[in-house]
Structure 1
Amino acid sequence: MLKQFFIICSGADTDILKNSAIGEQNKYAGIGATVFFTALMAFIASSYALYTVFDNLFASIGFGFVWGLLIFNLDRFIVSTIKKRDHFVDEIIQATPRLLLALIIAVVISKPLELKIFEKEINQVLLEQKNELTLANQDQIALQFTPKTEALKQDIMALQNEVTTKEAEVNALYGTYIQEAEGTAGTKRLGKGPVYKEKRDKHDAALAELQALKEANAAKIATTETALAQLKANYDAQVTTTQPIIDGFDGLMARVTALGTLPWLPSFFIFLLFLAIETSPIFAKLLSPKGEYDFKLEDQETAIKSLVEQKVQERKLAIKADFAINDRVYTDLAEEEELYEYKRKKARELMQLQADAFYKGQQKLF
């Protein structure tokens, strides 16, 4: 039963092969097994590839099954349409487009399986790429917030410098009136005289201004720091929002691109393996000698071809004979006086009817 199933997979004529030698049956069973297992590998490969796209097991298996059937049908068609010829060159010519199609199918089948075989290495490459994308994303987002952040920091620094400058001024005034009281500067008179009082009042006024400035600038700095904190929160929120997109950067195209960064030799060997599997039925038919099945199939096809050509030729001769008979019949009829008088009478009646119809049409115009 399994042998019969594989023979069906090979696309061979089961009625002819049933009456052929066991060796012929085994040959086509082997070809059919290759076609079947190639389609099975296509089903597995496409299911994995589609799972990386849809992330849904049932959808991937469903589409993978359809893809496997498509590859099975193509392989079966390729193998079944290769016929043994009398010259090997003719066989190569008819097999060339089928070999090109087999090459394309081998690429399509092998690539998803390469992704699965080298999954760990691809994940490492994707991790490095994700890290680079994360840093680049943070830098790009920072470019949106850096100008505002720097401006706010400059405002805070300006407010702090203003307070520092005022404190220096107050400290200088403090030193001035202390030195006046000690007699080491100013009037150089020891004691708290009018000049001392004037300098003390000036210092006290500046100190009051300093306190007011500190309170005002502290409020402004607090507001600015709140704005800075809000910018930082917005930056973190945007980074958090965009990070899942980077984390999801592991689709089919990303994995194929990552596979391209790995050494090409292992992937090439896997491709050669599937190319050999895909083209093996074709080469098996090309290299095998013309067997019993091929002779029977050729006999059946040539018999049908001869029959069809004979029928076509008979139709051509029948049409030619019919034309000759018609020519003779109408030639004889043309010489009969009775037929001439009959057609003359009918033609006269027809012309009278046409004249009457024209006359009635003219009357309606008046």
Structure 2
Amino acid sequence: MIKQFFLLCSGVDQDLIKDCSNGEQNKYAGIGATVFFTALMAAIAASYALYTVFDNPYTSIFFGFLWGLLIFNLDRFIVSTIRKREKKSQELIQVLPRLFLAMIIAVVISKPLELKIFEKEINQVLLTKKNQMTLENKNQIAQQFTPEIEKLQSEIKGLKEEITQKEIETNNLYETYIAEAEGRKGTKIIGKGPVYKEKRQKHDAALKELTELKQSNSEKIDAKESEIATLIEQQKNSQTKTQPIISNFDGLMARIDALNQLPWLPSLFIFLLFLAIETAPIFTKLISHKGEYDYKLENHESKVKSWIQQQVDQRNKIADTDIDINTKVYEDLKSEEELYNYKQKIATDLMKLQADTFFENQKNIL
């Protein structure tokens, strides 16, 4: 039963192969097994590749199964259409397009399995790239908010410096009127005279202005610090919103790109392995000698071809004969007196009718 199934996979004519020797049947059963397992591996590879896209096992398995059937049909077609020729060069010419197609199929099958085999290494490459993208994303978002934050911080620094300058000025006025009272500066008269009172008034006025300035600038500083806190919060929210996009950066294209960054030699050997598997049925038929099945198939096709040629030739001869007969019949009718008189009478009646009609039309016009 398994042997019959693999013979079916090889695309051979079941009526012809059943009368062949056991060795011939085993040869084509081996070719059919290669076709079947290639399609099976194609289905597994496609299912994994589609799982990285859809992230749904049922959808991936369904479409992977369809892809496996497609590869099975293509391989079966390729193997079944190769015919053994008298010259190897003729066989090579008919095999070349099929080899090209087999190479394409091998690439399609091997790439998803490479992604699975090197999954850990690919994850490491993707992690490095995600970290880099996270840093770049933070820098890009920071460039949107940093100028405004720095501007507010500069304004806060200016307000604080304004208070500091006013404090220095007030302290200097304080030192001045104290020194006047102690007689160390100014009039150098100890006591609280008119000059002392004047300087005290200047200090008191400056102290009042300092108090008002502190209150005013404190309110402005609080408002600007609140704006800075809001901007920092918006910056964090922007980073939070964009981070899932970076975290989900592990689709099929991203994994293929990461695979290309790994050493190429292991991938090459895997590709060559699948290329060998995919082209094995073709090379098996190419290098094998003409077998019993090939002769029977050639004989069967020759019979069909001869029968078709006979049918076509017979139809052509019938058509040629019918044309010759029709030509002769109409040639004989040219000299037939009765037919001539009959057609002459009809033509005469027709011309009379035309003349009468013309006469009536002209009379109506007049």
Give TM class, smaller chain: over 0.9
TM-score (norm: length of structure 1): 0.97
The residue type paired with residue 254 of structure 2 is: A
Which residue of 2 is the match for residue 44 of structure 1?
44
Task: Please give the secondary structure, in 1, of the residue aligned with 2:190.
Answer: coil
Distance 1:353 1:236, change over 3 A: farther
Distance 1:358 1:121, change over 3 A: farther
Which residue of 2 is the match for residue 108 of structure 1?
108
The residue type paired with residue 128 of structure 2 is: E
1: CA distance, partners of 2:191 / 2:278: 113
The residue type paired with residue 253 of structure 2 is: M
Deviations along 1:83-139, one digit per CA (max 9) or x if unpaired, are 101110000000000000000000000000000000000000000000000000111
Distance 1:114 1:322, change over 3 A: same
State percent identity of aligned pairs.
64
Distance 1:124 1:351, change over 3 A: farther
Which residue of 2 is the match for residue 318 of structure 1?
318
Deviations along 1:231-258, one digit per CA (max 9) or x if unpaired, are 0010000100000000010000000000
State whether structure 2 residue 277 is matched by structure 1 residue 277: yes
Which residue of 1 is the match for residue 68 of structure 2?
68
Which residue of 1 is the match for residue 151 of structure 2?
151
Which residue of 1 is the match for residue 163 of structure 2?
163
The residue type paired with residue 243 of structure 2 is: Q
Which residue of 2 is the match for residue 85 of structure 1?
85
Deviations along 1:190-213, one digit per CA (max 9) or x if unpaired, are 111111111111101100110110
- How far off its partner does 1:350 sit? 3.7
- How far off its partner does 1:355 sit? 5.3
2: CA distance, partners of 1:364 / 1:164: 126
Distance 1:353 1:24, change over 3 A: farther
Which consecutive unaligned segments of at least 5 residues does structure 2 have? Answer: none
Which residue of 2 is the match for residue 55 of structure 1?
55
Deviations along 1:232-286, one digit per CA (max 9) or x if unpaired, are 0100001000000000100000000000000000000000000000000000000
2: CA distance, partners of 1:356 / 1:55: 91
The residue type paired with residue 45 of structure 1 is: A
1: CA distance, partners of 2:142 / 2:195: 58
The residue type paired with residue 324 of structure 2 is: A
The residue type paired with residue 164 of structure 1 is: T
2: CA distance, partners of 1:264 / 1:322: 72
- How far off its partner does 1:346 sit? 2.4
Distance 1:167 1:356, change over 3 A: farther
Distance 1:26 1:363, change over 3 A: farther
- How far off its partner does 1:354 sit? 5.0
What aligned pairs does 1:12-31 form with structure 2 within 5 A after superposition?
12-31=12-31
The residue type paired with residue 305 of structure 1 is: K
1: CA distance, partners of 2:350 / 2:43: 77
Task: Please give the secondary structure, in 2, of the residue aligned with 1:181.
Answer: helix
Distance 1:358 1:146, change over 3 A: farther
- How far off its partner does 1:361 sit? 6.8
2: CA distance, partners of 1:360 / 1:91: 83
Distance 1:318 1:233, change over 3 A: same
Which residue of 2 is the match for residue 193 of structure 1?
193
1: CA distance, partners of 2:73 / 2:95: 17
Which residue of 1 is the match for residue 288 of structure 2?
288
- How far off its partner does 1:353 sit? 4.8
1: CA distance, partners of 2:236 / 2:304: 79
2: CA distance, partners of 1:276 / 1:171: 93
The residue type paired with residue 284 of structure 2 is: A
State whether structure 2 residue 258 is matched by structure 1 residue 252: no
Which residue of 1 is the match for residue 183 of structure 2?
183
Moved more, 146-155 or 66-75: 146-155
The residue type paired with residue 289 of structure 1 is: H
RMSD, matched Cα:
1.5
- How far off its partner does 1:310 sit? 1.5
The residue type paired with residue 272 of structure 2 is: L
TM-score (norm: length of structure 2): 0.97
Distance 1:63 1:193, change over 3 A: same
- How far off its partner does 1:44 sit? 0.4
